[in-house]
């Protein structure tokens, strides 16, 4: 434990260092691509040395504790000289203002940021955390001459109408989170902004055209958190309204709530993160092309799911399949199974830690069947008797296909290279990093799969337990009866053993089967130790990077984060 923290500190020290970039700011550079600075006293931004200068892909400036913030035009333009000038990278500038009494960005404050710099993607984020409400003012043309892929603003208010602030801009994606943005229709004739897509995220009770005015943008997405009422009729003339995200509403998604959405012809994408989608509710959004379901979902009406005739994309990445109630997950599986032949694109969760049979089935339908091998050792009996008929049918068929191929024998060449490192990984697993577990599993699997499967075909799904130690050991221990009743999965040597430590047992059988394995394992120990040390330092590096970025990004959130919208 302590050695690991010691390692962690050493590693983060070697990757992070203080660096002088801007006058009057305390800066830290990270891996020569990322610089973070903090400023306590407002002053013009001036670069330190002009001779040797590093270039960064990401710049993060934090302004703390200033009473009155006044930003003049071109205040940030000097940052362009710190950006690396490459086409392949995403360049991002984050500006955080915290604990101020007032904030005033004058015309041209953010003018020409990223100008002359070639990048594949440019992103500017402005986070404002005032001490009291309504103390933020963006003047007209504050962002003028800004040409950028993404601008995100987190604030409780903006101070001026949309048409003034975003005049003369060219922004692909504009996200405004938290603020009630005002609209002035009389300025429309003089407005020269070009904004492709706008997304406004707010925590709000009533969703209607007063709260979400018709801004002059090409596509418009409304994201409402904790809402109770939706006045779809007030959006009747919104030809730009393409997306509606209802996140954790205080009510169920009922036909009454969604009534009127059927008349919004431009609506293409809806996202529901709600406990229950009631019978017939989805009939009101029959015409949408994209449906996103969130992690709060417990129940959805399968009949109205079938009414989504125009659906092209279904995103269930965040749905917790094991928490779905009734036949919801079976209905989803059935729907996906039928529609995928008609070209429906489905986004499934990447992880299936408790080997949910329906999810294994879906993954196998859509992907390459990677999950069926991962969950092989436990799925069979459980999934054979799944209450969802398409799933049980599928696994019954699968088992019949499997039987004749089991008699195949394993060539000796693959043994020693796999077993020893696996022991070490397991023993040295830092048990207190649950998040990194998943990464380890995948890393292990990616490294070893070629060894196992490259020359031999897929006749050895039963051997996959060696490749994914973490998954199998944990799941088998938690659900022991499943293993005992799957004769196909056990080698003769294994069946007379106890199943409580199936993992160690497998190693024993390997030693027995391949006579010289003992000797080989001995000679492997130094390599295994070195490999696991390397692996451990990789994990630590990853964790310190994660910790760094968490600190980096999580500090401010007005509204709970939600799945990204396509």
Ligand X SMILES: *[C@@H]1O[C@H](CO)[C@@H](O)[C@H](O)[C@H]1NC(C)=O
Structural contact between residues 468 and 438, judged by C-beta atoms closer than 8 angstroms: no
Measured in whole angstroms, the distance separating CA 225 from the mean position of its chain's CA atoms is 19
Max distance between CA atoms of the chain, in angstroms, equals 87
Task: Give the count of beta carbons closer than 10 Å to the beta carbon of residue 118.
Answer: 14
Regarding 310 and contact with ligand X (CB under 6 A), the answer is no
Residue selected from 99, 120, 263, 513 as contacting ligand X according to rule CB under 6 A? 513
Regarding 197 and contact with ligand X (CB under 6 A), the answer is no
Residue 213 or residue 563: which is nearer to ligand X going by CB?
213
Residue selected from 192, 549, 551, 557 as contacting ligand X according to rule CB under 6 A? 192
Q: What is the smallest separation between the CB atom of 117 and ligand X, expressed in angstroms? A: 5
Q: What is the smallest separation between the CB atom of 113 and ligand X, expressed in angstroms? A: 12
Q: What is the smallest separation between the CB atom of 197 and ligand X, expressed in angstroms? A: 12
Q: What is the smallest separation between the CB atom of 447 and ligand X, expressed in angstroms? A: 17
Regarding 302 and contact with ligand X (CB under 6 A), the answer is yes
Tokens of 163: 């048409």
Give residues with Cβ within 8 angstroms of 549, minimum separation 6: none
Q: What is the smallest separation between the CB atom of 513 and ligand X, expressed in angstroms? A: 6
Regarding 28 and contact with ligand X (CB under 6 A), the answer is no
Residue 59 or residue 247: which is nearer to ligand X going by CB?
59
Residue 406 or residue 522: which is nearer to ligand X going by CB?
406
Q: What is the smallest separation between the CB atom of 82 and ligand X, expressed in angstroms? A: 10
Query: Which phi and psi angles does 107 have, rounded to 5°?
Result: -55, 135
Q: What is the smallest separation between the CB atom of 560 and ligand X, expressed in angstroms? A: 30
Task: Give the count of beta carbons closer than 10 Å to the beta carbon of residue 506.
Answer: 22
Tokens of 231: 């006045």
Q: Which stretch binds ligand X (CB under 6 A): 1-9, 175-183, 376-384, 458-466?
A: 458-466
Residue 462 or residue 475: which is nearer to ligand X going by CB?
462
Tokens of 22: 């801007």
Pairing of strands 169-177, 194-203: parallel
Residue 396 or residue 491: which is nearer to ligand X going by CB?
491
Regarding 555 and contact with ligand X (CB under 6 A), the answer is no
Give residues with Cβ within 8 angstroms of 406, minimum separation 6: 459, 462, 488
Residue 68 or residue 188: which is nearer to ligand X going by CB?
188
Regarding 164 and contact with ligand X (CB under 6 A), the answer is yes
Residue selected from 211, 334, 356, 424 as contacting ligand X according to rule CB under 6 A? 334
The single residue listed with the structure tokens 């070490």 is: 424
CA dist 368 → 317, 322, 394, 402, 563 (Å): 17, 22, 15, 17, 25
Structural contact between residues 288 and 311, judged by C-beta atoms closer than 8 angstroms: yes
Calculate the CA dihedral of residues 424, 427, 431, 437 and round it to 10 degrees: 30
Output the 3-class SS for 363-399. HHHHCCCHHHHHCHHHHHHHHHCCCCHHHHHHHHHHH
Residue 233 or residue 550: which is nearer to ligand X going by CB?
233
Q: What is the smallest separation between the CB atom of 459 and ligand X, expressed in angstroms? A: 8
Residue selected from 10, 236, 522, 530 as contacting ligand X according to rule CB under 6 A? 236
Q: Which stretch binds ligand X (CB under 6 A): 88-96, 160-168, 421-429, 430-438?
A: 160-168
Q: Which stretch binds ligand X (CB under 6 A): 22-30, 33-41, 375-383, 459-467?
A: 459-467
The single residue listed with the structure tokens 């709600």 is: 274
173: left (phi over 0), alpha (psi -120 to 50) or beta: beta
Pairing of strands 290-293, 313-315: parallel
Regarding 191 and contact with ligand X (CB under 6 A), the answer is yes
Q: Which stretch binds ligand X (CB under 6 A): 305-313, 324-332, 363-371, 425-433?
A: 324-332
Residue selected from 170, 182, 283, 396 as contacting ligand X according to rule CB under 6 A? 170
Query: Which of these, 134, 135, 138, lies nearest to 153 by C-alpha position?
Result: 138
Site for ligand X in 72-131 (CB under 6 A): 85, 116-118
Residue selected from 58, 377, 380, 463 as contacting ligand X according to rule CB under 6 A? 463
Regarding 542 and contact with ligand X (CB under 6 A), the answer is no
Residue 49 or residue 87: which is nearer to ligand X going by CB?
87
Regarding 263 and contact with ligand X (CB under 6 A), the answer is no
Alpha helices in 327-467 (DSSP H): 328-339, 357-366, 370-374, 376-384, 389-402, 419-428, 434-453
Measured in whole angstroms, the distance separating CA 108 from the mean position of its chain's CA atoms is 34
Q: What is the smallest separation between the CB atom of 409 and ligand X, expressed in angstroms? A: 6
- Report how far residue 167's alpha carbon sits from residue 193's, in angstroms, rounded to the nearest whole number: 4
Q: Which residues bind ligand X (CB under 6 A)?
A: 85, 116-118, 140-141, 147, 163-164, 167-168, 170, 187, 190-192, 194, 234, 236-237, 302, 327, 330-331, 334, 406, 409-410, 415, 460, 462-463, 491, 510, 513
């Amino acid at each position: 434990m302590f050695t690991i923290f010691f390692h962690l500190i050493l590693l983060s020290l070697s990757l992070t260092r203080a660096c002088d970039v801007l006058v009057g700011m305390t800066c830290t550079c990270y891996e020569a691509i990322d610089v973070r600075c903090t400023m306590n006293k407002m002053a013009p931004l001036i670069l330190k040395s002009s001779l040797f200068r590093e270039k960064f892909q990401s710049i993060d400036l934090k302004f703390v504790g200033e009473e009155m913030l006044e930003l003049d035009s071109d205040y940030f333009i000097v940052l362009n000289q710190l950006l690396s000038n490459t086409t392949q990278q995403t360049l991002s500038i984050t500006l955080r203002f915290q604990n101020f009494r007032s904030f005033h960005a004058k015309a041209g404050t953010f003018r020409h940021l990223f100008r002359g710099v070639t990048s594949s993607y440019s992103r500017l984020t402005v986070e404002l955390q005032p001490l009291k409400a309504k103390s933020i003012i963006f003047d007209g043309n504050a962002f003028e001459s800004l040409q950028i892929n993404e601008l995100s603003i987190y604030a409780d208010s903006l101070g001026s109408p949309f048409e003034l602030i975003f005049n003369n801009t060219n922004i692909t994606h504009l996200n405004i989170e938290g603020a009630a943005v005002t609209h002035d229709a009389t300025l429309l004739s003089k407005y020269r902004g070009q904004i492709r897509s706008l997304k406004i995220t707010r925590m709000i009770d009533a969703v209607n055209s007063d709260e979400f005015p018709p801004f002059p943008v090409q596509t418009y997405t409304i994201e409402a958190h904790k809402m109770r009422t939706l006045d779809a009729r007030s959006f009747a003339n919104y030809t730009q309204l393409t997306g509606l995200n209802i996140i954790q509403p205080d009510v169920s998604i009922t036909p009454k709530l969604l009534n009127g959405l059927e008349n919004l012809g431009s609506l293409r994408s809806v996202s529901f993160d709600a406990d229950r989608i009631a019978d017939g509710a989805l009939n009101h959004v029959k015409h949408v092309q994209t449906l996103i379901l969130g992690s709060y979902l417990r129940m959805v009406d399968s009949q109205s799911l079938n009414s989504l005739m125009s659906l092209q994309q279904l995103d269930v990445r965040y749905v917790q399949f094991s928490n779905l109630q009734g036949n919801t997950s079976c209905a989803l599986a059935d729907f996906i199974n039928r529609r995928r032949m008609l070209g429906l694109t489905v986004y499934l969760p990447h992880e299936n830690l408790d080997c949910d049979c329906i999810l294994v089935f879906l993954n196998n339908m859509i992907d390459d069947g990677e999950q069926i091998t991962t969950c092989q050792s436990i799925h069979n009996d459980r999934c054979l008797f799944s209450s969802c008929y398409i799933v049980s049918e599928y696994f019954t068929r699968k088992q019949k296909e499997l039987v004749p191929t089991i008699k195949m024998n394993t060539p000796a060449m693959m043994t020693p290279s796999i077993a020893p490192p696996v022991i070490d990984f397991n023993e040295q697993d830092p048990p207190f990093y649950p998040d990194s577990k998943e990464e380890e599993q995948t890393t292990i699997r990616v490294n070893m799969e070629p060894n196992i499967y490259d020359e031999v075909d897929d006749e050895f799904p039963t051997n996959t337990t060696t490749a994914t130690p973490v998954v199998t050991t944990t799941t088998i221990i938690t659900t022991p009866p499943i293993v005992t009743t799957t004769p196909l999965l056990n080698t003769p040597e294994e069946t007379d053993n106890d199943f409580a430590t199936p993992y160690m047992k497998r190693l024993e059988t390997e030693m027995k089967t391949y006579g010289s394995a003992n000797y080989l394992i001995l000679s492997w120990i130094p390599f295994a130790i070195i490999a696991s040390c390397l692996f451990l330092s990789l994990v630590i590096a990853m964790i310190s990077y994660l910790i760094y970025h968490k600190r980096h990004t999580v500090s401010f959130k007005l509204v709970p984060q939600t799945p990204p919208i396509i």
